[in-house]
Chain A
């Protein structure tokens, strides 16, 4: 069964919280026609490059969260939006 937007939002709450603390927003584009679950990581004005986890780690954490939420995940697509400043954030 195709997960609803609410399912995705609920499962990815923890990941969103972590990204927000580093100055990023997590937008859930949703299930795409090819079945991929697309996520957009949007850099805010104060986002720092070193604060966000590597893409492959982020994708695996998202996949784990979705699977733990009872969703079948075939692929996760990350859309990176915005530029970030170098430096160590909090």
Chain B
């Protein structure tokens, strides 16, 4: 990569050649279990406001549906970085929910985390708001997990009340999450 400065506010960055395009047919994603009963479910809050409340709504329904399930909540310090605990949770988490991609940068990192979890054998689903859904699917394909589960929510959501996000944005999407994390989806 070379960068040529033309003017303070106008630069050209050359990416040549681009990184190799991966096979869209390949999928390095994880295998699925039949149920989340008795499983250890990771809840990754990526630091984007609102995501923690969506996760709370999902957790509330899953806890009721699967009383023997365990939950491990992890928060990233910043939405625009990769999670630094992926190696740590490998072998511990049986499934994962990531929330929420609500900007270009944080969506790309949320998808990065989701695909990395899948490659580590952990079925994952990522919440992304609507404007970033298409680019998120493209990015997941480029990262070798074209079938990554993506749950699309409206945009914006950062300033909505916590209870609203939990009860109306997270909880009602639980069936979709379960379907994406288990066999038969």
Contact of A36 among B16, B103, B139, B158 (CB under 8 A): B16
B12 & A61 in contact (Cβ 8 Å cutoff): no
A45 on the interface (CB 8 Å rule)?
no
A60 & B135 in contact (Cβ 8 Å cutoff): no
B138 & A64 in contact (Cβ 8 Å cutoff): yes
Chain A contact residues, CB within 8 Å of chain B: 13-15, 17-22, 36, 50-61, 63-65, 67-68, 73-83, 88-90
How many contacts between A and B, using CB within 8 angstroms? 122
B9 & A75 in contact (Cβ 8 Å cutoff): no
The residues in B between 10 and 37 inclusive whose CB is less than 8 angstroms from any CB of A are: 10-19, 21, 24
B21 & A21 in contact (Cβ 8 Å cutoff): no
Contacts of B102 in A (CB 8 A): 90
Contacts of A14 in B (CB 8 A): 133-135, 137-138
The residues in B between 137 and 152 inclusive whose CB is less than 8 angstroms from any CB of A are: 137-139, 141-142
B77 on the interface (CB 8 Å rule)?
no
B80 & A50 in contact (Cβ 8 Å cutoff): yes
Contacts of B17 in A (CB 8 A): 74-75
A18 & B24 in contact (Cβ 8 Å cutoff): no
Per-residue interface assignment for chain B, residues 98 to 137, with 1 indicating a CB less than 8 Å from any chain A CB and 0 otherwise: 0000111101100000000000000000000001111101
A80 & B134 in contact (Cβ 8 Å cutoff): no
B104 & A21 in contact (Cβ 8 Å cutoff): yes
Contact of B9 among A13, A50, A82, A88 (CB under 8 A): A82
Chain A: CB-nearest residue to B137:
A14
Bound Cα distance A18, B134 (Å): 8
Query: Closest 6 interchain pairs by CB?
Result: A14-B134, A21-B131, A90-B156, A75-B16, A18-B135, A59-B15
The residue in B18, B49, B159 that gathers the most chain A C-beta atoms within 10 A of its C-beta is B18
